[in-house]
Structure 1
């Protein structure tokens, strides 16, 4: 019986029917330091926030599939067929437009899908898709400041305590090659890694740096009134020589309807919803 039960569990995990409930980390209300001295876009400052709880991991393919099966929702990449994907050999900051790519095939059908990767973060979705998911699930995206407070875990530096640019690979799935002309699987993963595979920050959050950029709500002065989506934390594509945004200071920007194979999100619950 034990063997049969184990087999069934593996089948559920493999197909995405099984999905473990997310765990959340409570962030107390209070005054926190964000930003960094000398940063024009994100200067050092103290802000006061209300209590909230943030998911310990990025949203997975399994969790997103539950939403799709319940609603029949079609992502923007499915409808517009304009997702951007990556494969080794491209010059820096170059991406491929692949009409077959969407969350089930985040790097396009030819490069394989998410079968066997239901515990990886969902990608190939837009900021707009993420908002639709959040409305269905009764959660929301973190604000730019909430994300930073949770990622820093009490630190006043670009990283959380114990992390440096040299030790970041213990905590983050990033690109360790010199460039993107050759495939890099130094840490065992060329694209996304399963959530919680790397070490967490001191508050118990996994993959705040690397794996996938995480959508956040909020705006920046550079937006100048335009509707722009922002994402933080860097991704598996980021390296020290290109887009080294795997830190708690830098903020990325993207069209809210754009879908990339290195963009995902984690969710937040307000204190009154706990």
Structure 2
């Protein structure tokens, strides 16, 4: 009898340990150290050495399912819902042209006429602003990665433009991007016209999925080139819209800039544990 109780206690302890461990399976540990970031000729991201403290970054971008839990718990109203200013895309537009759609928001990331997220709960949340991302982080007790942390995580120890090297032709193995020559004709050659479920492509050496492509990921930080009287939000990694011929930001070097209250259907984020 005593032996049975001991066995039950051991099994219970093992289950608890497994449950605790599962809480961390969605995050990747990045150890502290000195890292070389930036590029020799990059104006926004010059070559430099930085010291990074240990942090834990989400293996995937935040999903519609996770963001919905935040909305249901807080009844938060996103910038796109409040300002009616979300920008969406449809094939046929000229390069770098987007449409303002007052119906677009996180529930209808490309506008109501293009459908909702009912069957896309494992896709990254989009059509949210930097301000919305920060509101989620405050509720979930997490934070956005800094510009430097994001770059360290994305490089996964590499010093090249991409974490696998400098050959852009390999991008299709690791990222959901736009493969078409331009944006005049719809491109779903990789299986997705817009976003893809998180983790659909190969991860980098650290085990991070979609660090390039799928959606731009908001980061914290400021740049020395920032206008003193203007607040900007930063996002990195490129998106499903980015192509080799337009906005090829699906790399570890480039940094995108946008208004803190702007919402696009190719913007999202991943989080860092406090």
Q: Same fold (TM over 0.5)?
A: yes
Secondary structure in 1 aligned to 2:187? coil
Instruction: Give the equivalent residue in structure 2 for 1:235.
Output: 239
CA contact (8 A) 2:158 2:165 kept: no
Match of 2:109 among 81, 89, 106: 106
CA shift, 1:223, in A, is 1.6
Deviations 1:96-133 (A, max 9, x none): 00000000000000011111100000001000000000
Indicate whether 1:204 and 2:179 are aligned. no
Secondary structure in 2 aligned to 1:169? helix
Indicate whether 1:151 and 2:154 are aligned. yes
TM-score w.r.t. length of structure 1 = 0.90
* Cα separation, 1, equivalents of 2:165 and 2:31: 22
Gaps of 5+ in 2: 1-22
* Cα separation, 2, equivalents of 1:151 and 1:125: 22
Match of 1:34 among 28, 33, 37: 37
What is the 5 A alignment of 1:70-89? 70-89=73-92
Indicate whether 1:260 and 2:228 are aligned. no
* Cα separation, 2, equivalents of 1:229 and 1:164: 29
CA shift, 1:39, in A, is 1.5
Secondary structure in 2 aligned to 1:166? helix
Q: Which has the larger radius of gyration?
A: 2
CA contact (8 A) 2:40 2:46 kept: yes
Secondary structure in 1 aligned to 2:225? helix
Deviations 1:139-193 (A, max 9, x none): 0000000000000000011111356201111000000000000000010001000
Instruction: Give the equivalent residue in structure 2 for 1:250.
Output: 254
Indicate whether 1:44 and 2:65 are aligned. no
What is the 5 A alignment of 1:32-181? 32-161=35-164, 164-181=167-184
- Which stretches of structure 1, 4 residues or more, deviate above 4 A after TM superposition? none
CA shift, 1:22, in A, is 6.7
Root-mean-square deviation over aligned CA pairs: 1.2
* Cα separation, 1, equivalents of 2:42 and 2:223: 13
CA contact (8 A) 1:36 1:157 kept: no
CA contact (8 A) 2:160 2:166 kept: no
CA shift, 1:221, in A, is 2.1
Deviations 1:227-273 (A, max 9, x none): 10000000000000000000000000000000000000000013xxx
CA shift, 1:21, in A, is 8.4
Gaps of 5+ in 1: 1-19
* Cα separation, 2, equivalents of 1:79 and 1:92: 28
Match of 2:193 among 168, 172, 190: 190
CA shift, 1:79, in A, is 0.8
Instruction: Give the equivalent residue in structure 2 for 1:223.
Output: 226
